[in-house]
Amino acid sequence: MLNKVRPALGRVLTPVGRTIARTGVTPNAITIIGTAGVVAGALGFFPRGEFFWGVMLITAFVLFDMLDGAVARVTGKISKWGAFLDSTMDRVADAAIFSGVMIGLYRDGQEQLAGVALYCLVAGVVVSYAKARAEGLGYTCNVGIAERAERLIVILVATGLDGLGVPYVLAAALWVLAVLSTVTVGQRFATVRAQALADTDPRPAAPAPSPDAGRRRDRPSGNASGKAPEKAAGDAREGGAARAENGGRRRWHVRRLDSASEPRP
């Protein structure tokens, strides 16, 4: 849902990206530094129960990581490798955040809530993979009630408030994220399935005609001479009668010749 504010956010970050570009820092370096800071904050503070300070450090590096796109646009260094690196590092950062929360809750004796955090981690990976796989197949999958930005805001705000001593907020946020992530997976499955079914023609393809089919249709069914069966039979009868008559005449003529050749008494 927060994807709708990206154009406005891009206009805000572009001047900052132009300033950073003058220092010579590349977009890929920003991506790597931002991810390293998020991982350090999540795995360095959350497992020890220091949720608030961990969130502060993570937030700073998340904001810094958002500048890689602005720097790439300003410097013209937009590339497929940069897009791949950015997407992959986002998955690493998400895994570090939820893993840190899970370890911190488990050490605090909240095993059930730690299991919910683990479920949110797995569901988030499925949400991201479903979109990547759909786009790899040529489909669009820009749907979902809880995409990465929404999940990140909810978990960081709830974890920070828990670090300040606000009760139940982290537990409520994790359960809500678990439900919303599951719904998002279902939305993406349904969207891709609809597009895949639309690509499938339900009517079976007609069999290809045989090369001899036309000649068989054009050829009469009577005989090789091309005559109809009735006409061919009539011609055969007339021919037989004519041959019989000619044979009789020849025999009569022979008898006449034999009688003429006999001597008279």
Written as tens digits, the pLDDT of the chain (265 aa) is 556 666 777 778 888 888 888 888 999 999 999 999 999 999 999 999 999 999 999 999 999 998 988 898 888 888 899 999 999 999 999 999 999 999 999 999 999 999 999 999 999 999 999 999 999 999 999 888 988 889 999 999 999 999 999 999 999 999 999 999 999 999 999 999 999 999 875 555 556 565 555 555 555 544 544 444 555 555 555 555 555 555 555 554 445 444 444 444 3
Give me the domain span that covers residue 168: 2-199
Check whether residue 174 and residue 255 sit in a common domain. Answer: no
Residue 211's pLDDT is 57
The answer to whether position 211 is within a domain reads no
CA distance 117 to 99: 8
Identify the pLDDT of residue 252: 45
Q: Answer whether residue 205 is part of any domain.
A: no
Q: Identify the active-site residue in 90, 108, 235, 258.
A: 90
Of 199, 220, 255, the residue at which a domain comes to its end is: 199
Cα distance from N-terminal residue to C-terminal residue, the chain: 136
**C-alpha to C-alpha distance for 146 and 181, rounded to whole angstroms:** 6
Q: What is the pLDDT of residue 11?
A: 78
- The pLDDT, as a whole number, for residue 17 is 85
The residue among 199, 224, 251 that closes a domain is 199
Q: Contact, 140 vs 134, CB < 8 A? A: yes
- Of 173, 199, 225, the residue that ends a domain is 199
**pLDDT at res. 21:** 87
Name the pTM for this structure: 0.72
Does residue 17 fall inside a structural domain? Answer: yes
> Would you say residue 229 lies in a domain?
no
Total structural domains within the chain:
2
DSSP state of 224: T
Say yes or no: 193 and 251 in one domain: no
Residues 6+ apart with CB under 8 A from 235: 227
Note whether 163 and 52 are within 8 A (CB).
Answer: yes
The pLDDT of residue 207: 60
- On whether both 33 and 117 belong to a single domain, the answer is yes
SS3 letters across 56-123: HHHHHHHHHHCHHHHHHHHHCCCCHHHHHHHHHHHHHHHHHHHHHHHHHHHHCCCHHHHHHHHHHHHH
The tokens describing 77, both together, are 């260094």
Active-site residue 90, yes or no?
yes
Long-range contacts formed by 91-94: CB under 8 A, 24+ apart: 91/125, 91/128, 92/35, 92/39, 93/34, 93/35, 93/38, 93/39, 93/42, 93/62, 93/65, 94/121, 94/124, 94/125, 94/128, 94/148, 94/151, 94/152
- φ, ψ for residue 223, nearest 5 deg: -155, -175
In a domain? residue 223 = no
**Ranges assigned E (strand) in the chain:** none
CATH label of the domain that carries residue 170: 1.20.120.1760
